[in-house]
Structure 1
Amino acid sequence: MNFILIFVFALLWDLLFGEPPIKLHPVVWFGKIAGFFDEKWEREGSLLDFLTGALTAVTVISFALILSLLPLYLPFPLNYALAVYLLKSSFAIRSLHEHIARTVTGDVEEKRKAVSMIVSRDVKALDEAHLNSASIESLAENLNDSVIAPLFYFLLFGLSGALVYRAVNTLDAMLGYRNERYEYFGKFSARLDDVLNFIPARLTVLLYLPLGGRRVLSYYRLARFKINSDKPISAMSAVLKVWLEKPGVYRFPGREPTNGDIIRALKVYWLVVAEWLVIVVLPLATGVCPCLSL
C-alpha cells in the first residue's frame, strides 16, 4: 500500500474535519473493551489483579492489531479508505487545538469547566494562573501523546504501530492510576505506556530546540519528576518563559501564565507540529521509511 498517500489523506481528514464520530472511533472501542474488564473484575489481590490487568491490555492491543491488518484483506479502494480512517483515528491535531482554545476565556468558572475536560486533576481549588498552567501542560503533554508518538510508531511499524500505540495510551489513560483500584490492575498498562513514550517524549523536546535553544535543554535537566510526561512540559515552559506547575508533583520556573500565554502556546504547538509533519513526510515520500516494508 502507498503509505504516503494514506498519511496525506489522513492528515487532510484531521485538519479539515477533526475526529470521526464517537461511536465509530477505534479509541472508543479500545476504551469499551478495557472498561468491560475493569467493571467485571472484582479486585482479588496484587498478583491476580496484575495478571488480569495484563490480560486486559493484551486483549485491547490484539484488537488494535487485528484492526490494523484488516485493510490488507479488502479490495481497492476499500483498503485505502479503511487505512486512512484508522490512521486518522490514531492522532489528533485539530481537536487538541480546539480543546485547548476553549480554555482561553476571562470567565474563571468557564475556564475551570474547560480545563476539567482535558486534565485528570481536581480543578476546583485551582486559581486562574494554575488553570492556565494546567491548560498549557495538557497541550504540551498531548502534543507528544496525540501527535508525535502515534506518527513515530507509524513511521516504524506502519498502521499497526500507530494503532497499537493508541491502544496502549488509551489503556494508560483509563487504568494507569496510582490508587487502590488500579495500583496493580493498571500497572502493566502504565509501564508499557512508559516504555513506548520514552523515545517520543524526548524527540518532542528536540523539536522545541529551534524555538527555545539552550533554555529548552536547561529546563529539560530540571524534568526529573516523571519518566516521560514532564519532558515536553519542561520544553513548553522554556519556550514560553512561564512557570508550569502541577502542585505537589513538579514546577518549572518563569513568570505567571496568562490567557495570552495559552494563545502563544497554541502558536508554538503549530510550529512544532509543522516541524514534525515535515519529518514524517520525508521518509514516506522518499521510500526509506521502515514501515514501507510491512
Structure 2
Amino acid sequence: MGTLVLFLLAFTWDLALGEPPAVVHPVVWFGKMAGFLDSRYERRSPVIDFTAGLITALTVIFLAFLLSILPFYTHFPLNYLLAVYLLKSSFAIRSLHEHVSRTVTNDLEEKRRAVSMIVSRDTKILDEAHLNSAAIESLAENLNDSVIAPLFYFLLFGLPGAVVYRAVNTLDAMLGYRNERYEFFGKFSARLDDVLNFIPARLTVLLYLPLGRKKVLEYYKLARFKINSDKPIAVMSAVLRVWLEKPGVYSFPGGEPKNEDIKQALKVYWTVVAEWTLIITILLGLGVCPCLSP
C-alpha cells in the first residue's frame, strides 16, 4: 500500500479514535515485556547488569521489528489493516492533547492527579506553578517523543522504523533511570534513545522557528542540561514566555506558568503538529522518501 495512504489512514484513526485498548496496544506490550524481564533479573555487578540490560533491550527491539514486518507477509486486506494499526500505535497526537488538557483546572488536587499521569516526578510536593510547568514540559517533550520522532523514522525506514523507535523510547521510559537499580541495567536503552532522538529533537526546534525565530534560537542556546529532552522544552518556554523548570535538572526563564499558558501550549502543540503533518504529506506525495510499506 502507498506510504502516503498508510500515513493518512493512521493519522485519521488517531484524530478520530485515539489510542487502541491497552490489551492490544503494541507500546503496552513492549512495556510489559521490558517490565517482565526486568523483574526476573537480580542485579549482580555493573558489567553483568549492563549485559543483561543490553539483552533485554535487544529482545524487545527484535520483537518490535518482527511485529513491524508482519504486514509484509500477510495478504489483502489484513496487510492494510495491520500496517495502519501498527503505524497509528507508534504515535499519539490526540492522546497527548487529552492528557495535558486534563491538567487545566483550578482544583489543585485534581491538577496534581492529572499531572501525575504524565510525569514521573512526585506531584505531591509541587506547588501550582510547578505543576503547570510540569504539564507544559511533558507536552513539549512528548511532542518530540510521541509525534515528531516516530514519524521521522517512518519517513526514513517505513513501518519498521516507526515501530522500532517506539520500542526504544518505551525501553528508555521504563529502564533509563540514573539510580541504583537501573544505572547499568538501563544504560544501553537510555543511550540508544539519546542517539535516536538526537536529530528529531533538533527537528522539533526547527518547527518552532515560525512561532518566534529570535526567541526560539536564544532559548535553544540555553538548553545545555540534557542531550535531547531539554531542547523541545526550551523552545516551548521561549514561545510561551513562561519559566519551565525541573528543579535540579533544568530551568528556563519567563513569567510564572498558569492554566492559560497550558491552554496556549496546546495551541502551539497543534500548530507544530500541523506543520509536521504537512511536511510528511508533501514528502510522501512527492515520493522523495525511501521508506518502505507493505
TM-score by length of 2: 0.99
1:116 corresponds to 2:95? no
Which residue of 1 is the match for residue 156 of structure 2? 156
* CA RMSD across the alignment: 0.9
Distance 2:91 2:215 in 1: 29
Which residue of 2 is the match for residue 279 of structure 1? 279
Instruction: Name the count of aligned residue pairs.
Output: 294
Runs of 4 or more consecutive aligned structure 1 residues displaced over 3 Å after TM superposition: none
Question: Following TM superposition, by how much is the alpha carbon of 1:204 offset from its aligned partner in structure 2, in angstroms?
Answer: 0.2
Could you say what secondary structure the match of 2:251 adopts?
A: strand
What's the % identity of the aligned pairs? 75
Which residue of 1 is the match for residue 125 of structure 2? 125
Could you say what secondary structure the match of 2:255 adopts?
A: coil
Question: Following TM superposition, by how much is the alpha carbon of 1:292 offset from its aligned partner in structure 2, in angstroms?
Answer: 4.0
User: Letter of the aligned partner of 2:280 in structure 1?
Assistant: V
Question: Following TM superposition, by how much is the alpha carbon of 1:63 offset from its aligned partner in structure 2, in angstroms?
Answer: 0.5
Distance 1:28 1:241 in 2: 35
Distance 2:151 2:73 in 1: 23
1:264 corresponds to 2:267? no
Which residue of 2 is the match for residue 55 of structure 1? 55
CA offsets per residue over residues 37-82 of structure 1, 9 Å max, x none? 1000000110000000000000000001001110011111110100
CA offsets per residue over residues 94-115 of structure 1, 9 Å max, x none? 0000000000000111101100
CA offsets per residue over residues 182-209 of structure 1, 9 Å max, x none? 0000000000000000000000001000
Which residue of 1 is the match for residue 86 of structure 2? 86
Question: Following TM superposition, by how much is the alpha carbon of 1:283 offset from its aligned partner in structure 2, in angstroms?
Answer: 1.3
- Please list, as runs of the form range in 1=range in 2, the aligned pairs for 1:178-189 lying within 5 A after superposition: 178-189=178-189
Distance 2:287 2:125 in 1: 52
User: Letter of the aligned partner of 2:201 in structure 1?
Assistant: A
Question: Following TM superposition, by how much is the alpha carbon of 1:288 offset from its aligned partner in structure 2, in angstroms?
Answer: 1.1
1:12 corresponds to 2:4? no
C-alpha contact (below 8 Å) 2:2/2:293 kept by paired residues: no
Question: Following TM superposition, by how much is the alpha carbon of 1:180 offset from its aligned partner in structure 2, in angstroms?
Answer: 0.4
Which residue of 2 is the match for residue 216 of structure 1? 216
C-alpha contact (below 8 Å) 2:207/2:275 kept by paired residues: yes
Question: Following TM superposition, by how much is the alpha carbon of 1:33 offset from its aligned partner in structure 2, in angstroms?
Answer: 1.0
User: Letter of the aligned partner of 2:245 in structure 1?
Assistant: E
Which residue of 1 is the match for residue 238 of structure 2? 238
Which residue of 2 is the match for residue 170 of structure 1? 170
Unaligned runs of 5+ in 1: none
TM-score by length of 1: 0.99
Question: Following TM superposition, by how much is the alpha carbon of 1:155 offset from its aligned partner in structure 2, in angstroms?
Answer: 0.1
1:252 corresponds to 2:252? yes
Distance 2:214 2:76 in 1: 49
Distance 2:167 2:23 in 1: 16
